[in-house]
Amino acid sequence: MMKIKIEPEKCTGCRYCEVVCSLQHYDSVSSKNARIHVFPDDTNQMYFPITAGPYTDAQCTCKRMITVGGKEVDACVLCPASCPARPVFMEPGTEIPLKCDLCGEPPDPLCVKYCTSGALSIVEI
Amino acid sequence: MDSYAGNVLRVDLSESKHTIEDLDEDLARDFIGGRGLGSKIVVDEVDPNVDPFDEDNKLIFAVGPLTGSGVPTGGRYMVITKSPLTGTITNANSGGHFGPEMKGAGYDMIIFEGKSPEPVYLFIEDDKIEIRSARELWGKTIHQTCELIKGQFESPWEAQQYRIACIGPAGEKLVRMACIANDDRVAGRSGVGAVMGSKNLKALVVKGTKGVSLHNKDQFKETLKGVMDKIKASPVTSEFAPTFGTSGSVPLFNESGVLPAYNFRQGVFKSAEKISGQTIAETILIGREGCYACPIHCGRVTKVEEDNYKGQGKGPEYETLALLGSNCGIDNLSAIAKANYICNDLGIDTMSAGGTIATAMELFDKGVISEKEVGFTLNFGSAEAMVKAVEMMGLREGFGDILAEGGYRIAEKYGHPEVFMGVKKQEFAGYDPRACKGMGLQFATCNRGACHIRGAVYIPELYGIPEKIDPLTTEGKAGWTKIFQDFTAIVDSAGMCMFTFLAIWKDEMRAMLNDTTGAGYTMEEMMRVGERIWNLERLFNLDAGFSKVDDTLPKRILEEPAPEGPAKGHVCELDKMLTEYYQLRGWDENGVPTKEKLSELNL
């Protein structure tokens, strides 16, 4: 199975992945309808590109910290789900939850192709 | 046309009202967008002789058709107004993420008119537009302002959806080189932040969810692929700039005799390596940052641990190192970074700040300005004094009140106009024109005063892109200057960063414009747009009282030979280049566009 591997320590926060994701899926380009978003973590001065996973209609109750590359990061930042507490990955206007489809079958994600920082790559797992 | 938002938002700050107009598509075709369209509004609606701080001056934020479209570096916005530093028409642009957000909200331009009776900020969420009180924000630094605005939202997720462009205390206090900041990037030059301050406008807070429509998406994706292949194939855009940022140019420019030192008395700085991008990468660099949709990532994130200069932030870039560093005789990297952080927080252009301090340092050196007047010793090489001067300038405190007027006005005030190193009252960028003569012509003729970026002839002169030309001759420089000026006007109007020039050129630009907008420009038509914009700006300046005598360089550059380096013995022979330049431009011997030229350009 193919998967997008994310190495946040390499991300420069340019959000090129967002705009080309939109370009792949829509006639009208906007970061706001992308299935990948770059979340800034101001505390650690890092950026986390996160691909959209399944939508959940309930907010989870566990707040926890995860260690990434020696840094404590709020797990909520890294969560691929949209939820009522964090309504990201929703299509503006329709509010339909979006999910990464790896740009089709076989997977050929445009976000990976346009990421020059090395933060995104496609790997077999 | 596709790829435009289609609306122009006009905000009357005096009456606290706004109106929305349709974008004029014929004008969009003739001026593309961004800088071109904004300049057209200024020329049509602003009296060239108005005091830039008068409420009749207008401040325009404009994006281009390529902003947010998916092209590499397509995230820029432009600010256009009459400059309080130069008195010319001006434009300053910035990357970061503000531009695409503004376009996503549905506006190609936001035109600010009048003056608010009290501090306000503009809040935009797509069609919702509110002029809100900024009483709580007034007096706050740029970072404090952003924190306070972000703190008003319910969650960090919500706050992240908004982008802020704002001024710091320098803009409020009408410091003539105040900038407008967004996402730690700035629309830096020529005092656009001071015009914003004069209107009592503290910030723009924007969220936009609308998309950019594309004329021919399939063709556009093909074009993009080719553009990205070129960016990835160029060693400058794929290795050099990402690894060292613009600061990586310090060694090359120093070896070329271009790196200004001691207020342009020299073009070689003995301890250049201490302030190079390569040294930054080994010492204070903690990360790099890319603007919206940028594959180059030239932004530097640095952290200084040294006690006196402790801090963390963005920069320094090449121009900052050259002007607050070598040009002030300073090789203390920590101090330059600290001064950069202060500029970012108070909201001043690091380049004019450096040029101004170097002017004051030379006057101090000559004994014209005394220690008593300044409050401390302001000599070349004193890192501590430079950092202190930057802070005082941004806040207009003590002697800083005089520094805040810029190098030209200081040199005039003390009766030594010859020590001001700039053109049309704007300080030089970090290039000694005696060692890259095309840059001398660019500085002398640029519509916003001495500026390196609106006609970057140093790219062929020093980087050899698109071809290597000899920096020490005047031959062919008029042609190169014209083409870079015209082409940059197109890129600036489209909403891209001129760094893409390092990998792509006219063909790619035309393809991107046509695929997105459907305007169907021929190469000739597209280049004519650039020339039209340049001439339009020139006409405003002529009406504002500028003439051939202002297209000049300081005596030091024209008459005093460079003392060392590859340009040793050289001066910048401007006259020869200027005559040829006027001819190529279709201007008369006084630098006035001829009737034939204007009719050819539909002006």
What confidence category does residue A45 fall into, taking pLDDT thresholds of 50, 70 and 90?
A: confident
Residue A23 Cα, gap to closest chain B Cα (Å): 7
> What six digits make up the tokens of B270?
């003995």
Query: What residue segments make up the domains of chain B, in order of their start?
Result: 7-207, 245-427, 437-502+522-600
- Does residue A13 sit at the B interface (CB-CB below 8 Å)? yes
Contacts of A116 in chain B (CB under 8 A): 231-232, 238, 242, 295-297
Residue owning tokens 């404590």:
A72
Can you give the pTM of this predicted structure?
A: 0.98
Q: Does residue A62 carry a pLDDT above 80?
A: no
Q: What is the pLDDT of residue A64?
A: 87
* Positions of chain B with pLDDT under 70: none
Cβ distance of A29 and B290 shorter than 8 Å: no
B-chain residue closest to A46, CA distance: B287
Position with higher pLDDT, B285 vs A76: B285
Contacts of B104 in chain A (CB under 8 A): 30-32
- B283 vs B255, B260, B301, B305, CA distance in Å? 22, 23, 12, 10
A interface test, pick of B66, B97, B225, B300 with most A CB neighbours within 10 Å = B97
Cβ distance of B211 and A45 shorter than 8 Å: no
- Does residue B157 sit at the A interface (CB-CB below 8 Å)? yes
Residue B75 Cα, gap to closest chain A Cα (Å): 10
Cβ distance of B212 and A28 shorter than 8 Å: yes
Q: What is the pLDDT of residue A69?
A: 81
Q: Which residues contact B192 (CB under 8 A, 6 or more apart)?
A: B59, B79, B81, B83, B90, B92, B178, B179, B180
- Beta carbons of A36 and A51 less than 8 angstroms apart: yes
Domain B245-427 has CATH 1.10.569.10: yes
- 3-state SS, B144-179, equals HHHHHHHCCCCCHHHHCCCEEEECCHHHHCCCCCEC
Cβ distance of B160 and A92 shorter than 8 Å: no
- Does residue B236 sit at the A interface (CB-CB below 8 Å)? no
B595 φ/ψ angles, rounded to the nearest 5 degrees: -60, -40
Name the A residues in 15-74 with CB < 8 Å from any B CB: 15-16, 19-20, 22-23, 26-33, 39-40, 45
Helix axes B477-494, B523-543, angle to 10 degrees: 100
Q: Does residue A87 carry a pLDDT above 90?
A: no
Q: What is the pLDDT of residue B127?
A: 98
DSSP, collapsed to helix, strand or coil, labels residue B300 as strand
Domain B7-207 has CATH 3.60.9.10: yes
**Mean pLDDT in residue range A5-25:** 97
B54 φ/ψ angles, rounded to the nearest 5 degrees: -75, 150
Q: Does residue A85 carry a pLDDT above 80?
A: yes
B434 φ/ψ angles, rounded to the nearest 5 degrees: -75, -20
d(CA B380, CA B511): 49
Q: How many CB atoms lie within 10 A of CB B556?
A: 20
d(CA B205, CA B351): 27
What confidence category does residue A59 fall into, taking pLDDT thresholds of 50, 70 and 90?
A: confident
> What six digits make up the tokens of B570?
């050289």
Name the A residues in 85-114 with CB < 8 Å from any B CB: 85-88, 92-93, 113-114
B-chain residue closest to A11, CA distance: B289
Q: Is the dihedral of CA B13, B14, B19, B21 positive or negative?
A: negative
Determine the length of chain A: 125
B interface test, pick of A11, A15, A16, A26 with most B CB neighbours within 10 Å = A16
Cβ distance of B68 and A45 shorter than 8 Å: no
- Does residue B233 sit at the A interface (CB-CB below 8 Å)? no
Q: What is the pLDDT of residue B523?
A: 98
Q: What is the pLDDT of residue B306?
A: 94
Element (H, E) at B81: strand B77-82
pLDDT tens-place string over residues B129-166: 999 999 999 999 999 999 999 999 998 889 999 999 99
What confidence category does residue A84 fall into, taking pLDDT thresholds of 50, 70 and 90?
A: confident
A-chain residue closest to B69, CA distance: A29
- A29 vs A99, A109, B105, B340, B398, CA distance in Å? 17, 16, 13, 35, 50
Q: How many CB atoms lie within 10 A of CB B136?
A: 15
Residue B514 Cα, gap to closest chain A Cα (Å): 16
- Does residue B265 sit at the A interface (CB-CB below 8 Å)? no
Does B437-502+522-600 match B245-427 at the fold level? no
Q: What is the pLDDT of residue B308?
A: 94
- 3-state SS, chain A, equals CEEEEECHHHCCCCCHHHHHHHHHHCCEECHHHCCEEEEEECCCCEEEEEECCCECCCCCCCCCEEEECCEEEEHHHHCCCEECCECCCECCCCCCECCCCCCCCCCCCHHHHHCCCCCEEEEEC
Element (H, E) at B122: strand B120-125
| Assigned fold of B437-502+522-600 | 1.10.599
Q: What is the pLDDT of residue B256?
A: 98
* Rg over CA atoms, chain A: 14
